[in-house]
Chains A and B, each alone.
Chain A
Amino acid sequence: DTAVSQTPKYLVTQMGNDKSIKCEQNLGHDTMYWYKQDSKKFLKIMFSYNNKELIINETVPNRFSPKSPDKAHLNLHINSLELGDSAVYFCASSQRQGNEKLFFGSGTQLSVL
């Protein structure tokens, strides 16, 4: 069973559209994250949630809205997609806040045309 799963794996869409990426972890972890990896392969954190509460928001445009319905899920909704949003988005989880042993999903490659 996949520990951290995210869907879809690939997402191709037009500029201006709204899209969502889903993430689920079955590890019983309290903390979940979204990272963005751009074309230069730099892995940058976007958000972190701990027990459904937002704890980190790294100056991400408010077109990006994370939603955590329960601590096993952290979804990412993106409004009015722009070309610069094209990247690979990774979801991750850790046992608790401040625990560095992160478990990552396999990524969602978003292409905005």
Chain B
Amino acid sequence: DAKTTQPPSMDCAEGRAANLPCNHSTISGNEYVYWYRQIHSQGPQYIIHGLKNNETNEMASLIITEDRKSSTLILPHATLRDTAVYYCIVRVVGASGGSYIPTFGRGTSLIVHP
């Protein structure tokens, strides 16, 4: 599985867009990019995923570069409740899962301040 690199921490003003980058330069053509977040004292929560097209849902937008070597998770209007650790994961979907290990890295700690 391709590895990911994320900045350890970021901060953002409430009401502004939070743009969280993720590098996955070794990603292969059939690997998806998944994003999760973990709010303090809670279990991780799925946010969004994509392959090569940009994706948007009620929580966030995912922008994947044309070469797919990096992506950005965008929280369009960050609130204090968006303060969390954000994890970027890449993986082939639907592959034989016998050896698949859903692995979380260190993620990015996002602090949204008033």
Contacts and interface: CB of A to CB of B under 8 A. Distances in A.
Given A97-B97, A98-B96, A90 B44 contact: yes
Contacts of A42: 106
Given A42-B106, A43-B44, A106-B43, A101 B49 contact: yes
Interface in B69-94: 85, 89, 91-94
B52 to A, nearest CB: 16
7 contacts: A41-B85, A56-B101, A96-B97, A98-B97, A99-B94, A100-B91, A107-B42
Contacts of B94: 98-99
A55 B98 contact: yes
Interface of B: 32, 34, 36, 38, 41-46, 49, 85, 89, 91-98, 100-104, 106
Interface of A: 4, 31, 33, 35, 41-43, 45, 48, 50, 55-56, 58, 90, 92, 94, 96-107
A43 B100 CA distance: 16
B103 A55 contact: no
A72 to B, nearest CB: 17
Nearest to A109: B41
Given A41-B85, A42-B106, A98 B100 contact: yes
